[in-house]
Structure formats: structure tokens, C-alpha cells
Amino acid sequence: MVTPNQHRQFKLAFVLLFLVILSITVLKAQSVAISNASFEIVRNDNFTAWNTTSDSLCKVSPDWQIFSSGNVSCNFSHPIPGTTKLYSLPVKLITGQLYRLSGKIKTQNAVTSRTDQYPTPVAACLSMKSFPFTNHSPAVGATHDWQTVEVYFYAAAQNDQIVLNFGYNGKAAGKVWFDDIVLEKVNDLSKMIDPLTIKQYKKGFRYEDKGWINIHLEGKPFERGMQYGYLVAAEIKEFINKLSIQRQKENPVAAWNNLRTQVDLLFLRKFDEEFLTEMKGIAEGVNTAGVQIFNRQVDLLDIVTLNSEIDLDYAEDAIKKTAHSLSGKTLQSAEGDNELQDRLHKCSGILATKSATADSRVVFGQLFMWGGYTGPHWNIFVDVVPENGYRLVYQTFPGGIHSGADFYLNAKGIIIGETTVGQTPFNINGTPQSNRIRKAAQYASSVDDVVKIMTTDNNGLYTNDWLIADTKIDEVAILLLGTEKYKL
């Protein structure tokens, strides 16, 4: 999604981010069979069951003098910057299952190329062939003795391959040794998440992982709202403070009160009762946690304002596009007043399926761009099991009942994202997009369901190409949604 200041976070929908259950079951990890995992089987200086791709002058060979265990290790040697990948034979995985990939890495003068800047290059690491470029184990560079590295992941493919990398997302020079590669099926979530870091409130809980705050909520609207508000009370306070300062640094309290008035006037009475009740619960959850804003308790209007801020961002542009009684009486026609500049119809998202993807399944990506002041607060993933509708997962800001970053998955296999286009006119009688998109994410079981919900009572704010996928049948669609018209 892109606001007037632009925003969006890259995400691949097939990376299953939130398959966490409330009860942590402690079971022994089960190893996945890997042919020649310790590189002990060598024929003609080649490792059995492993295949190499590398640049010229880059060499992969057995080292009988340096190893972590056994009698030999796998050495990558790059006299000049280059890229080498060593692939295992295919391994069979269970899609959606949590796995742990680990191994030993030793380095000598391993450095990345100075000319490679983005994506950020790293020296030595482990990955899976199915991983997006952003995902890999912790990297090892410079000169280090044997280190154990590991990466947890939810399987996105039934058949995958382990990849040993020297020069990942760029080139690297020096020497690297790999040994003792292990792939395990993980049923004990405490291996990935320290149980002592989990914060629980009634049926809800939160935990943090690598900068992300993961929230699980269950129940009726007010009940799940209470869980949400209690678990992210401090983050809601900080986010409201920042939004207020961003609007008026000299008097943030007045700025927030002004936003509240606008939302009270334009949006409050347009939300469905279910979602207003959820937001009322969020406010009560914050208060129960003992957190205040501007030396007072949080109320319903504060949370509705949080969830309407994106619509408000587009209101100024929308009003300029909205005809009035004098429209068409100047040099332009009424249609001319509402005309959009084609150059504004640009954003960043991808949706592909069938012949456009490697396995003919859906691939979905989102790029999130936002200002550096409030953008870091879009680090929350919410997993909701509602009383009615379907379980859904979305990326959002503190207190968001909708994504705002526009990344949604639900239990019926529906994926929703968007790319922002030129703003269309404002319909004061319509419902906010935050209400409609949350409703679609929670209740839709098909592309047609999403279209029906999004096109009903549209207020026109935040005009988008909505990217929609149904992973049950690998169907994709783009809904260009204007105020009065749409194109599928």
C-alpha cells in the first residue's frame, strides 16, 4: 500500500508466518533424511548427492585436513569475488510444517564484494531453494572457527532442496567450510520461541521474533478486542503519540483531537457494529493494562481514529476529485474534473499463478513503503480466530483491525493485497475501506466474495488495484476499484 508519503512492506504470501498455536507441545524433533549430510562420501573430488553451480575460478572441493566431525568437510574457495551454491538432492517436506535447518560453518577472510549493495550481500549461509532472497540463516564472514547456524521456516513446497551459499545476494571472496548439515521437523515451538517471552491475556497471547510482534486473538468482537488492546497497549500509546506529533509537533494533543473530530464526522457511524465492538474492546484492553494517552483513558473514538487514518490521508486528494454544483462550468467538463493522471497509477505488488510460476501455484508479493518516523510500527502480525467468519492473518500497526500494509491471508485460502492508484472522488455516504477490507478478509471464501464486499457502499477513499488470490484453485484477480465503477 502507498500513502501520499508512500508505504508498503515486501512480503511473500507463501511464507506462512503465523501457524502458532496457543498450547506449546513438547515433542522430539524428527530428522529429515539428507543424502551425504556430512560430506563423507566423495568420488573423484565430488560430493555424492550434492550439485554445484558457481562462477569461474570458484572451486568446491573436499578438505581432508579441516572438518567439524568425521574425516572431511566441504570447502568453497573464491580467489576473486564470486557466487557458489551447493544443492542437496530434493527432500520431501510437509507444506505448512515448521522445520529447522542447521549446519556448521568455518570462514577464512570471507568478505563480500564492495560493489554489491542491494539486496544486501552476505558471505556464507544456509538456505532452502524455495526461500525468497530475504530469507537465510545467520551469515558468517571474515575469519571464524566453526560456528553453528540455524534457520527456522515453514515449508512452502513439498519438494525442496538445501542450499549452501558462499556469496548470497551478491559476490564474496575468501574461503568457507561447511559440515554437519541437519534438517529437522520441529514440533516443539519452544525451540524457536522462548516460552518465558510469551505474554498472555485470557485467550490471546503475544510473542516477539526478530523485530516482529506476533499477536493471537480469539472470540467474540469485544472479547478479542480486549485481548488485542491489553497485549499491545504500550505500542498503541506510542503510535498515537507519533501520529499526533507528525500532524502538529507544537501541539500534538490538539492535532489528535482534530483527527478525532474528522473521524467522528466522517467515518465513526459507517463501521459495522461488529468492528466497532472490537475497537471498543481494544480501548478497554488498553485501559485495563493501565496505559493512558495525553493523561486520560483511551476511548472508542481513539481506536476508530487509528483505523481511519489511512482514509483521512487520501481525503484531501479525493475532495479535489469530487464534483460540486459548479463542476463543468469552468473550462473543464465534470468528467474532466474527475480525470485521473495516468502517471499516478503506479505502485508495487505482484500476483502470479499457473504458467507464470515455477510450480503453477500462486505467488504473492507486497512491497511496503512508509516514512521512517511511523513506518517501523507496522511490525505487528495479528492472527484472529473470530466467533464468525474465518481465521485470518494480517500485517498491521498497533491497534489495527485492518492491515494498512495490505497483506491478508485467511483460512479459506484467500490472499488479498493491493497496489495504490490515483485517488477517485469521495462518497460521503459510503463505508470506509478499513471496514470493507477487514470484512472481506474475515468473511470471503472466493474472489467473487471479496469483490462483492469491496464494491458495496464504497466511500471511494484509498483507491486501489486490489490483488486477490484463491489458493484453493490457484485463481488470481485484480480489482481496480474506483468510487462508482470497478473493473475486474
Q: Is 60's pLDDT higher than 90?
A: yes
Q: How far is CA 143 from the centre of its chain?
A: 34
* Residue 57 burial class via C-beta count within 10 angstroms: exposed 0-12, middle 13-18, buried 19 and up: exposed
Higher-scoring residue by pLDDT: 3, 147: 147
pLDDT of residue 419: 87
Q: What is the full DSSP assignment across 303-358?
A: HHHHHHHHHHHHHHHHHHHS--TTTTSSSS-HHHHTPPPGGG----EEEE-GGGST
pLDDT of residue 370: 82
**CB-based contact 430:457 (threshold 8 Å):** yes
pTM of the predicted protein model: 0.81
Q: What is the full DSSP assignment across 159-209?
A: EE-EEEEEEESS-EEEEEEEEEEEEEE---GGGTS-GGG-EEETTEEEEEE
Share of the chain above pLDDT 90, in %: 72
* Residue 304 burial class via C-beta count within 10 angstroms: exposed 0-12, middle 13-18, buried 19 and up: buried
| 108 closest CA partner among 138, 79, 82, 83 | 79
**CB-based contact 135:151 (threshold 8 Å):** yes
Domains of the chain: 11-16+335-487 (3.60.60.20), 30-189 (2.60.120.260), 200-321 (1.10.439)
**CB-based contact 445:390 (threshold 8 Å):** yes
Q: pLDDT-derived band of residue 339, with 50, 70 and 90 as boundaries?
A: low
Q: Is 421's pLDDT higher than 80?
A: yes
Min mean pLDDT across 47-61, 287-301, 336-350, 375-389 is at 336-350
Instruction: Find where cell 585436513 sits.
Output: 65
**Quick one: average pLDDT of 398-406?**
94
pLDDT of residue 371: 85
